[in-house]
Amino acid sequence: MGASEMTYKHREALVDQIVEQQPALRSFVRESSGDMLAGNWDFVSYSFQRGFESLWDLARTDLSGLLQMPLLSLWRQSVELAIKSTILELAGEISGKASHNLQALFRQLLDIRAKEGCCDNDDLTQNVQDMIAQVQAFDPFADRFRYPADRGGKPYAGFAIDVDELFQAHWIITTWCEGAVMEMRENGYT
How confident is the model over 42-95, as pLDDT tens digits? 999 999 999 999 999 999 999 899 999 999 999 999 999 999 999 999 999 999
What is the CATH classification number for the domain harbouring 60? Answer: 1.20.120
The number of distinct structural domains making up the chain is 1
CA 72, 86, 121 angle in degrees (round to 5)?
90
Q: Classify residue 30: in a domain, yes or no.
A: no
pLDDT at 24 over 70: no
Question: What is the model's pTM?
Answer: 0.86
Q: Classify residue 22: in a domain, yes or no.
A: no
**Would you give the DSSP letter of residue 33?**
T
Q: What is the spatial distance between Cα 185 and Cα 180, in angstroms, rounded to a whole number?
A: 9
What's the distance, CA 81 to chain centroid?
6
Q: Classify residue 98: in a domain, yes or no.
A: yes
pLDDT at 111 over 90: yes
pLDDT in tens, 137-165: 999 999 999 999 999 999 999 999 999 99
Q: What is the spatial distance between Cα 84 and Cα 82, in angstroms, rounded to a whole number?
A: 6
Q: Classify residue 53: in a domain, yes or no.
A: yes
Q: What is the spatial distance between Cα 190 and Cα 182, in angstroms, rounded to a whole number?
A: 10
Domain that holds residue 57: 38-186
Determine the pLDDT at residue 25.
56
Determine the pLDDT at residue 36.
81
